[in-house]
């Protein structure tokens, strides 16, 4: 087994995303019959999270949160893959890469304007956002409720800032 395309670095997996990687498998004697994926090296049959019927060659593996054990906690995971041949011999486990499981919504607090305040001029909207997986290069996005749905409001926003040290943000 060799991993020909690892999982993208720092990929965050949630209910809306899938992760994928490519492996190349072969067995000259009895041919590959399936591959198994687990979240720790040396995983047992009961610990495998996915099993795919396979033949010799390159295979693209896709995983979603539904492939993970129920109750999987947010955090960092590393995937390992191994092949089984038709005689049920198992290859060594090979690392396919790591990902971050994140199914927890960020916590947002608006500091300005205060709740219920009516405004009729350009104002500074500010607050804090907390999320374990929010990078310092990501800015919050303003959504405005138009009576029917939330719409991203980028038009008219002249300034954006995010301070990763205290999680504060502002839009003007």
* pLDDT tens, position by position, 108-140: 887 888 888 877 777 777 777 777 776 656 666
The pLDDT of 77-88, averaged and rounded, is: 93
Q: Average model confidence (pLDDT) for the chain?
A: 83
The answer, yes or no, to whether the previous bond of 113 is cis (omega within 30 of 0) is yes
User: Taking 70 as the threshold, does the pLDDT of residue 37 lie above it?
Assistant: yes
pLDDT at 41 (0 to 100)? 94
What is the model's pTM?
A: 0.71
User: Taking 70 as the threshold, does the pLDDT of residue 29 lie above it?
Assistant: yes
User: Taking 70 as the threshold, does the pLDDT of residue 160 lie above it?
Assistant: no
* Residue count (the chain): 172
Q: How many CB atoms lie within 10 A of CB 137?
A: 7
Which helix (DSSP H) or strand (DSSP E) does residue 126 occupy? strand 125-130
Only one residue has tokens 């502002």, namely 170
Q: 75: which 2 tokens?
A: 């955090």
- What is the phi-psi region of residue 135: left when phi exceeds 0, alpha when psi lies from -120 to 50, beta otherwise? beta
């Amino acid at each position: 087994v060799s991993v020909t395309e690892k999982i993208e670095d720092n990929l965050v997996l949630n209910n809306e995303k899938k992760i994928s990687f490519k492996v190349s498998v072969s067995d000259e004697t009895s041919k590959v019959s399936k591959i198994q994926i687990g979240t720790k090296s040396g995983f047992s049959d009961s610990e495998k999270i996915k099993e795919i019927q396979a033949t010799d060659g390159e295979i693209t593996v896709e995983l979603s949160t539904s492939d993970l054990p129920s109750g999987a906690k947010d955090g960092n995971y590393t995937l390992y893959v191994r092949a089984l041949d038709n005689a049920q011999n198992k290859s060594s486990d090979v690392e396919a890469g790591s990902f971050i499981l994140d199914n927890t919504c960020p916590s947002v607090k608006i500091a300005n304007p205060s709740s219920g305040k009516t405004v009729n001029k350009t104002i500074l909207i500010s607050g804090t956002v907390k999320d374990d997986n929010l990078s310092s290069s990501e800015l919050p996005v303003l959504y405005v409720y138009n009576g029917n749905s939330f719409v991203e409001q980028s038009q008219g926003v002249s300034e954006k800032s995010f301070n990763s040290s205290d999680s504060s943000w502002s839009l003007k």
